Structure 1
Amino acid sequence: MITKTKLPVLLLTLSIFFNLACKQPPIVKHNGEKDLISFKPVWGVAYSEISRHTANGLSFTNYGYQMEPQWRINFVSNDSASIYSPTKGKFINFPLTRGYDSIFNTARTWLKVKAMNRDSLKLEIINSYGDTVDKRGTKIYMTFYADNYIKNTLHTDTAILKRANHKDSLFIKRLSDASNKDYTKAFAARQPATLSSTSHKVKVKKWIAEGDLLNHFDTSDDYMNPTFDIAITKAYADFYYSFSVYIDADGQMHYNEPLIPFLGQSLKDNYIHQSTAVMNGYLKHYLKVTPGKTLNMLHASKINIHVQGITGI
């Protein structure tokens, strides 16, 4: 028989037992639609990316790579996103797959929603390895503003909003100063060094990177690895050399290294000797060199050269 004095204790015990029984252990995947991010509150809002940066607020790396804001996105539904293609010059609809913890995938990219409203959107880029998504994130953040917010509230445009911030300017100034004291500390120039011929005997062609869906419309190879084909007619001999060159802030060329492997050191030494002679004997005399610059600061950078010499033409 349960007395009135024991009843409260029994009820408390049953309550604790019930709560423990109902409490689920922590798991990575959850059950229920409520755990999936919903884009319904922002359907139809046109967003433009105005900033891409790391956790320290910089959009540049030590190598000169700039995380350039490029995306324009519109969430059509919870299953579809419209993203602008710079190469095609139009918006393309991509399937959208929603995951847990505000993670979603579209245009072959995994992203995590950090903040979202009809004025702005902040996403973090997420790495994936096969079928596994690294929920820790890359600490690279994409900030978007709604086009309507930019025009009618901020009264500006995306070109102004995308400008490098003060931290970026100070960072590039430090890198530039170091590279100008020692050209071997060169880094990629956002406006890369250029070569042009001053002789009808020398032809110069720059490689052009093409952005597409597979590389997320990334054309950064144009400035991260500027590469030139150079053809010299009526040369002293038939030859073909591939090597990299430092271009200092004054536009002077300095040999760096061959771009091909060698089986022996003597072969490498001879190749360096011959290709250096080509650089000094032809390229320095028949090319106009414009040094690279970033944020309007001239600095040392590096380029790749494939030069062919042809006799008798």
Structure 2
Amino acid sequence: MTIKYSCINNTTLNAILFVLFTALILTSCARNDKKDERPSFKPVLGMQFIEVRRAFDNGLAFNEYGFQQEPAWKLYFLSEDSVMIYSPFEKKYYHYPIYHDHDSVFNIAREWLRLKQLTKDSLTFQLLSVDRKEVSRERSNVAMKFYSHRYLTEVLKKDPVLLRRPNRKDTLFVKSLVSRANRNPTNPDSAFAARQPVQLISTINEIEVIKEGLQYDPHNLLNISSADTYLKPEYSINIKKAYKDFSHTFTALVDQHGKLQVDTFWTSPEFTASRRKVLEGIVDVYLQRFIKVIPGQTLGFPHTSQITLYVKGKK
């Protein structure tokens, strides 16, 4: 079939094109308005939500360094612009404003979050990593999954404590890390942070061991991370009646059997060998003999991990 254009005069054609162009502009504007429209929390105001799963975009709660994403938040929305969030440190709820940035992005309790899902049963946020007002796509790879209290008690009928525990995929992944670390106990690249860090227990009065703890900040309750205490465990060891006065800082690898091995330390290149010999002597003479070393564990599996030691001797 051949279309004959001669039947449409220029005036009619121009009118049709104008209508089509106007419709296109209006449709585009409507889409942009919809895109920039702020999501509403009204459907869930006053409803308590409990975080039951926090995981990377690969579905795992652990990464290769031993860091664990832990669900910890409990919250309920007071209004479109305010939320109450439970502090596990203070064991009570605190009020926080909600700042809407654009699209589905919000700043809540000093965290940048993108709302991915909102129903009366569940809530999902994407945890964003923002630096200088720019979102890092590579580091914004964590999802926070919440269930409403009603859904947990009346539908699932499950304790959120059980849902928060690592699942089977997490366990299999951790087992693979444990196997690698224990095959190469002297290789720091194979070691990973133990979720239950190494324990050092002095067996004599002349040696005191102090594990450096978490720094508590009452003004920043939600951003206190217990991860620092197991990702980089640090211990101060004070030795009385030492052969001489000394002070050394170094890292050590602790294998699955509790054996200590000097790892890294700072010194000038020409003194590396002699310094290592001194540190190994301190480990053999004092630490390994008079300190009970319990290796770090993750999900109940002992494995090689790295610790930092501040060792002082007083003659």
Where does residue 126 of structure 2 map in the other structure?
124
Amino acid at match of 1:68: E
The answer (yes or no) to whether the contact 1:86–1:217 under 8 Å persists in 2 is: no
How far apart, in 2, do the equivalents of 1:99 and 1:156 lie?
35
Which residue, out of 156, 159, 163, partners 1:157?
A: 159
Which residue, out of 202, 210, 217, partners 2:215?
A: 210
Mean CA deviation greater in 277-286 or 132-141:
132-141
How far apart, in 2, do the equivalents of 1:106 and 1:151 lie?
26
Cα deviation code 1:26-83 (max 9, x no counterpart)? 99xx658970121111111111111111111111010100011111121111111111
- The answer on 1:238 being equivalent to 2:245 is yes
Cα deviation code 1:157-184 (max 9, x no counterpart)? 1210011111111111111111111112
Please list, as runs of the form range in 1=range in 2, the aligned pairs for 1:138-153 lying within 5 A after superposition: 138-153=140-155
Please list, as runs of the form range in 1=range in 2, the aligned pairs for 1:47-126 lying within 5 A after superposition: 47-126=49-128
How far apart, in 2, do the equivalents of 1:117 and 1:26 lie?
25
Where does residue 248 of structure 1 map in the other structure?
255
Give the drift of 1:246.
0.9
SS in structure 2 opposite 1:153?
helix
Alignment TM-score, normalising by the size of structure 2:
0.89
Query: Any stretches of 5+ residues in structure 2 without a counterpart?
Result: 1-6
How far apart, in 2, do the equivalents of 1:44 and 1:200 lie?
56
Give the drift of 1:283.
0.2
How far apart, in 1, do the equivalents of 2:173 and 2:288 lie?
32
Query: Any stretches of 5+ residues in structure 1 without a counterpart?
Result: none
Give the drift of 1:188.
0.6
Amino acid at match of 1:140: V
How far apart, in 2, do the equivalents of 1:136 and 1:22 lie?
36
Number of residue pairs the alignment of both structures matches: 304
How far apart, in 2, do the equivalents of 1:14 and 1:146 lie?
51
The share of aligned pairs that are identical, in percent, is 33
Amino acid at match of 2:227: S
Amino acid at match of 1:248: D
How far apart, in 2, do the equivalents of 1:173 and 1:21 lie?
57
Cα deviation code 1:214-251 (max 9, x no counterpart)? 77121111111111111110111000111111111111
- The answer on 1:301 being equivalent to 2:290 is no
How far apart, in 2, do the equivalents of 1:90 and 1:242 lie?
39
Give the drift of 1:254.
1.3
Where does residue 234 of structure 2 map in the other structure?
227
Amino acid at match of 1:103: V
The answer (yes or no) to whether the contact 1:51–1:144 under 8 Å persists in 2 is: yes
SS in structure 1 opposite 2:289?
helix
Give the drift of 1:17.
3.0
In structure 2, relative to structure 1, the CA distance for the partners of 1:25 and 1:265 (3 Å cut) is: farther
Mean CA deviation greater in 264-273 or 129-138:
129-138
Please list, as runs of the form range in 1=range in 2, the aligned pairs for 1:270-309 lying within 5 A after superposition: 270-309=274-313
How far apart, in 2, do the equivalents of 1:194 and 1:177 lie?
21
Q: CA RMSD in A?
A: 2.5
Alignment TM-score, normalising by the size of structure 1:
0.89
SS in structure 2 opposite 1:254?
strand
How far apart, in 1, do the equivalents of 2:194 and 2:96 lie?
33
Amino acid at match of 1:281: V
The answer (yes or no) to whether the contact 2:36–2:103 under 8 Å persists in 1 is: no
Please list, as runs of the form range in 1=range in 2, the aligned pairs for 1:22-61 lying within 5 A after superposition: 22=26, 24=28, 35-61=37-63
- The answer on 1:13 being equivalent to 2:17 is yes
How far apart, in 2, do the equivalents of 1:21 and 1:152 lie?
48
Which residue, out of 196, 200, 215, partners 1:191?
A: 196
How far apart, in 1, do the equivalents of 2:139 and 2:195 lie?
26
The answer (yes or no) to whether the contact 1:187–1:300 under 8 Å persists in 2 is: yes
In structure 2, relative to structure 1, the CA distance for the partners of 1:26 and 1:117 (3 Å cut) is: closer
